[in-house]
Amino acid sequence: MAKPDSTTVTRLRGLLEVTRLMRDEQDVDRLLDAIARTIAQSLAYRTVVINLYRPAWNDFQVTTVHGSPEAQAELLGDRLPWEAWAPLLDDRYRRGGAYLIAHGTFDWTDDVGRRYIPDIEPRDDPDAWHPDDELFVPLVHSDGHVLGILSVGEPVSGTRPGEAELDVLVAVAEHAALALQAAQENASSQAHRTALAELLQVSSSLTESLSTDAVLQAICRGINGALGFHKVLLELPDPLTGVFVTRASHGWQPEQLAENSPSSLWQLAPLLDPPFEIEGCYLLPEHEALARLPAGHTSSRSRLNGSGPWAWDHHYLAVPLHDREGTVVGMIWVDDPADRLLPTRPMLQALRVFANQAAAALDSAGRFQEMRFLAEHDPLTRLLNRRAFTTRLKAEIARSQRHSHEFALVLCDLDGFKQINDREGHLAGDEILNHAAAVLGAAVRAEDTPFRVGGDEFALILAETTAAEARPVVERLAGALAGAADRPLSASFGVSVFPRDGGGHDALFRAADAAMYTAKRDGSAIRFAA
């Protein structure tokens, strides 16, 4: 059996070395340097150049040059758009998987970027490498799209490569493409791991803190750190006006926020158009967004844009926050992607998860606030409840003792409520209770707090009020209930005054309660404690 010659062994070693790089080297820049060096050494080319495809710009940039300092100075950083490469990769130059452009077969006066032409003397041999020759091999992803273009020149042999040599170059380039693909996919996987870590951090903050603003701010930071958007904005509607206001942000300067027109949900709703929905996010080109927004609407424009079919170009990306009923309760806006590319579907899935975390934080905060509210408020009428009444009554007694003030306690019981409830049903009874609560709340001073202390029983603490001063207040309350146009109500009132009718809260309450039942019994509407 014939032994392989040294050239064949060197080429095989080059192939194995590139295969090893696929496994060992994951940093893209170091990987490209190693690939260029390996190709130069194993396939015997003095100059090896890698043009890396940049999807954000739809062009190729020279990122790696293995060769002379003159070649590096001339070529590094040069950029050439995809359309300028198309004539160079024409089928008439194709040799297997490579493209060999021999001297005199292409007009290099067209704009095809910078070239390095080595200072070597052309030879008359038709197989000799001419300094004006070019040899390219596309680096192709396994799914078919181009990752970059390998360019080699100045073969040590001084001759143009033959068919076998081109086959080896193409094979090495295929392995180099796989190595580059693996490194890029590893970087993408690392980004996904970072996103997961950020999500877990935000999830833990939901249980660590009840501060809604802190959680929302953590979500904005998480989106920035995990998904690479330089600007993240989280807005919630003002409960009174419905206009969205900023609750958390990352990367926004005050002057940039000032560029955004105040907008309500109905003004922004046209952006949430199903044709632009991906994974629960809404991605619109700028012209589509502006066509849907009100005339005169302004917003801070993107700074990090690219060009080409996959580039971010002043796009609008909105992610609505929904409550349990599906109502929009907030909006996340992201802008200025670090890679200047449109987000991939996995990125939008992650963005949707962050938005769900924000919605969960708002829901948790709302439930916590409701629980805290209900600890002191009646769930039906939203008035302060019996527990809050007892606390406030004790506090008012202590305050009046310190300052030697009188105050009046008023108890009110609706007349005939049980019969109405039995005759018309509990829903009608609830309406009456809500109506009575609204009337009582509107008929007293801000400091005279009304309470619901029982089924149809209400109480008021009239601060710094004497018995004489309390009577017109109670008469006004009775008149307001009786004079309601939609449903007149009658009630019995009992009044006690501190300290005359009791020095403690129990005694004061019993005195007002007894007076109220006396009024109900004799039909006099208002009774003061004896």
Which of 132, 153, 185 is a domain's end point? Answer: 185
Same domain, 320 and 451: no
Same domain, 276 and 331: yes
The per-residue pLDDT for 131 is 93
Same domain, 338 and 391: no
Q: Is the pTM of this model over 0.75?
A: no
Same domain, 266 and 311: yes
Number of domains in the chain: 3
Read off the CATH number of the domain in which 107 is found.
3.30.450.40
- Which pair of tokens denotes residue 7? 């050239």
In angstroms, the CA 306 to CA 204 distance is 36
Which of 373, 397, 412 is a domain's end point? Answer: 373
Contacts 24+ apart (CB under 8 A), 469-473: 469/408, 470/408, 470/410, 470/495, 470/497, 470/528, 471/495, 471/526, 471/528, 473/408, 473/410, 473/444, 473/448
Same domain, 405 and 458: yes
Does 1 map to a domain?
Answer: no
Handedness of CA 275, 278, 279, 281 (dihedral sign): negative
Same domain, 165 and 223: no
The per-residue pLDDT for 378 is 86
The per-residue pLDDT for 424 is 82
Does 190 map to a domain?
Answer: no
Does 192 map to a domain?
Answer: no
Same domain, 217 and 156: no
Does 378 map to a domain?
Answer: no
Does 200 map to a domain?
Answer: no
Same domain, 84 and 118: yes
Which of 338, 373, 408 is a domain's end point? Answer: 373
Averages of pLDDT over runs of 10 residues in the chain (530 residues) are 46 52 63 87 92 94 94 94 92 94 89 85 89 95 93 94 91 88 81 71 60 83 89 92 92 91 92 95 96 92 92 96 88 95 92 87 68 77 89 92 91 87 83 87 79 91 91 89 76 92 91 91 83
Does 199 map to a domain?
Answer: no
Does 194 map to a domain?
Answer: no
Residue 451: name the closest of 421, 497, 411, 408 by CA: 411
Same domain, 253 and 109: no
The per-residue pLDDT for 249 is 94
Read off the CATH number of the domain in which 511 is found.
3.30.70.270
Q: State the residue range of the domain holding 340.
A: 209-373
Does 364 map to a domain?
Answer: yes
